Structure 1
Amino acid sequence: MSDAAPRHPVVFTRVGIWRGARVALPLWIGMLPFGLVVGVISAGKGLSLLETLLMSGIVYAGAAQLLALEMWTDPTPVLAVILAAGVVNIRMAPMGAALSPWLDKLRGWQLWGSLATLVDHSFALSMAEQRAGGRDAGFLLGMGLSLWVAWMAASAAGHVLGGAVQLPAGHPLYFGGIAAFSALLVPLWRGPGRDLAPWALAGAVALAAQHLGVAPPLPLLAGALSGAALAAWRETR
């Protein structure tokens, strides 16, 4: 049996939802700079506060939203924006597969709510919870909903503040997002014997693609897929 699988039958409880929501609270700091930037850029592109909140609430994906806003012109290349956002978010597919010990046991709003609010942060900590023997799938939904609230608040704040939030490139606030993503690696690390090679390959491929001038977000996608492929191959041996 995989070490990612819960050792007991999967349940879905309110206790698990509230626990996930509480665990996610420290990660709100990492959502702040992304949300502020999305709100500021949305205002600069002429989107109203309602339109900004609808985009943040439905799309709920910082990288995809930033990419879409960068491509936002008049007229808007709708098909190109959709394809670009799809490329960025395709990483969600292997995330869902990795969480299948929980997701396969859910139905209806529990399943679709968990998938709709799935982000990198909730995935990483939910995987750590799974590997520790956690069996309450409500943890995943609780984390996703908690982070969704933070994302909406940060996006709204960025839009309302507008021109007042003019942070220069390299401002320390931007490091909050990087720090949050880096911290997510800690609970996922299972030792050099299992994770060093896939993680190193992912980083090397992404850096090589960027060095060759491949347009974003393809370097990130290439690194993620190569690392995931190596990890999957090693698991099946």
Structure 2
Amino acid sequence: MAEASGAETRGAETRGAETRGGPVRFTRDGVRRGARRAVPLLLGLLPFGLVVGVVSIGHGLSLVEALGMSALVYAGSAQLLALELWSDPAPILAATMAAAVVNIRMAPMGAALAPWLDRLRGLRLWGTLATLVDHSFAMSMAEIRAGGRDAGFLLGTSLVLYFGWIASVAAGHLLGGAVRLPPGHPLFFGGIAAFAALLVPLWRGARQDLLAWAAAAALAVALHRLGLPLPLLGGALAGAALAAWQEIRGAR
């Protein structure tokens, strides 16, 4: 009797949890919905991809090599940094370490997406992680906060951005000198605008969110103006630390 009562209680708790949010799932509909939502963000990838394609020409990479690098590394800032370090012979260790430092921000992103990622296995998990970028992370976090339970949304968003990135790098490589834009050209603002727009769905209406973002931006700009290394990473850590402190203070 006691065992039966315990089983009924656990079953009721499970049904209640599923009623409130429902179980996390992975469906084709979710993948398609994420893909549709990601299409406008391709505008933000275009300038970076064009620049990477043009820079790769200057360092002697063929189209196949540039596309291979883009498909395997798939990180605009890390690719540009590696190309800047490119020489003959290539400093493989230095370029690898530099790319790792730039992309270390992906670790806390994966932790934040744990409500979805912890329910995935096999190709669904590793395919999602392999194509994860800032844009797909931001859109998926907004989806999670809105009560979304379909982890296919993240993969759909990431895949559109992944293939869009490769296409933009190919365009930059093929067009070559035709897309050599001067510094400060308005087209480069497309990337900045895309990242700024991602903050809108992430904002929960709380003032503390704005304080953390402002601190991250201020420190990143200050480090950049002072010529210090890794301004983006420093800003990100500062914003995360302030947000964590605010959460702990609020809990008390």
1:115 is the counterpart of 2:129: yes
Which residue in the other structure is 2:242 paired with? Answer: 230
User: Where do 5+ consecutive residues of structure 1 fail to align?
Assistant: 1-5
2:92 to 78, 88, 93: 78
TM-score, normalised relative to structure 1: 0.93
CA distance in 2, matches of 1:185, 1:193: 13
Residue type of the alignment partner of 1:123: F
> Which whole-Å CA distance do the structure 1 matches of 2:21 and 2:117 have between them?
15
Which position in structure 2 is the counterpart of 1:97? 111
- Structure 1 residues 43-52 or 194-203, which shifts more? 194-203
Distance 1:162 1:209 in 2: 33
Structure 2 residue 111 is the aligned partner of structure 1 residue 88: no
Aligned 8 A contact 1:45 1:72 in 2: yes
Higher helix share: 2
Provide the rounded CA distance (Å) in 2 between the counterparts of 1:197 and 1:90: 23
Q: Distance in 1 between matches of 2:72 and 2:243?
A: 31
Structure 1 residue 203, shift from structure 2 partner: 1.5
| TM-score w.r.t. length of structure 2 | 0.88
- Aligned letter for 1:112? W
Q: Are 1:191 and 2:205 matched, yes or no?
A: yes
Q: Give the match for residue 40 of structure 2.
A: 26
Paired position in structure 2 for 1:3: none
In structure 2, C-alpha distance between the alignment counterparts of 1:170 and 1:213, rounded to whole Å: 19
Match of residue 203, structure 1, among 217, 222, 231: 217
**Offset, 1:192:** 4.0
Write the letter of the residue equivalent to 1:219: P
Bigger Rg over Cα: 2
Does 2:153 match 1:139? yes
1:170 aligns with 2:184: yes
Q: 1:162 & 1:210 partners in 2: Cα distance? A: 29
Deviations 1:125-177 (A, max 9, x none): 10000000000000000000011111011011111111221111111111111
| 2-structure distance, mates of 1:206, 1:161 | 33
- Name the amino acid aligned to 1:43: I
Q: CA offset at residue 208 of structure 1?
A: 2.4
Q: Which residue matches 2:31?
A: 17
What secondary structure does 1:91 align onto?
A: helix
Matches within 5 A, 1:46-85: 46-85=60-99
Q: Shift of the alpha carbon at 1:211?
A: 3.0
Aligned length: 230
Cα distance in 2 between the residues matched to 1:112 and 1:22: 22
Question: Relative to 1, partners in 2 of residues 1:44 and 1:29: Cα closer, same or farther, differing over 3 Å?
Answer: same
**Structure 2 CA distance, aligned partners of 1:162 and 1:44?**
9
Structure 1's consecutive aligned runs of 4 or more residues displaced over 4 angstroms after TM superposition are none
Per-residue deviation at 1:191? 2.5
Larger relative contact order (Cα-Cα within 8 Å, sequence gap ≥ 6): 1
Instruction: Structure 2 unaligned segments of length 5 or more: list them.
Output: 1-19
CA deviations on 1:186-218 (whole Å, 9 max, x unpaired) are: 111122433022112212221222233203xx1
* Offset of residue 50 of structure 1: 0.6
